[in-house]
């Protein structure tokens, strides 16, 4: 594994109400809470059934004010190792 910490968020029809809109087909942003979930729910509406996909919500991880275990202060590069590992394991296997 690459060391990036990941977990699956819930997704489903119950979250549609968070991006439903009274004046448009849908909102492109949900309420303050559940932002990662509502972003994935928004994308889910455009993906054909049976297509494997993932939403990597990395906005909060791209910059660090202080060093962490696997990054220095500044740009973290979060997600680069993950995507590199995916390409090697899945696409180039």
pLDDT digits (tens, 9 = 90+) for 32-46: 778 888 889 999 999
3-state secondary structure 3-59: CCCCCCCCCCHHHHHHCCCCCCCCCCCCCCCCHHHHHHHHHHCCCCCCCCCCCCCCH
pLDDT per position in the chain (93 positions), as tens?
788 888 888 888 888 899 999 999 998 888 777 888 888 999 999 999 999 898 888 888 889 999 988 788 999 888 899 999 999 999 998
pLDDT digits (tens, 9 = 90+) for 49-60: 999 898 888 888
Indicate the pTM of the whole model.
0.70
- Ordered by start, the domain boundaries in the chain are 13-91
């Amino acid at each position: 594994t690459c060391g990036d910490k990941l977990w699956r968020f819930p997704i489903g029809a119950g979250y549609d109400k968070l991006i439903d809109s009274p004046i448009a087909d849908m909102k492109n942003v949900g309420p303050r809470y559940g932002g990662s979930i509502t972003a994935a729910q928004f994308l889910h509406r455009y993906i054909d059934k049976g297509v494997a996909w993932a939403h990597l919500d990395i906005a909060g991880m791209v910059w660090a004010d202080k060093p962490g275990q696997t990054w220095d202060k500044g740009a973290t590069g979060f997600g680069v190792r993950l995507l590199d590992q995916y390409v090697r394991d899945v696409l180039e296997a």
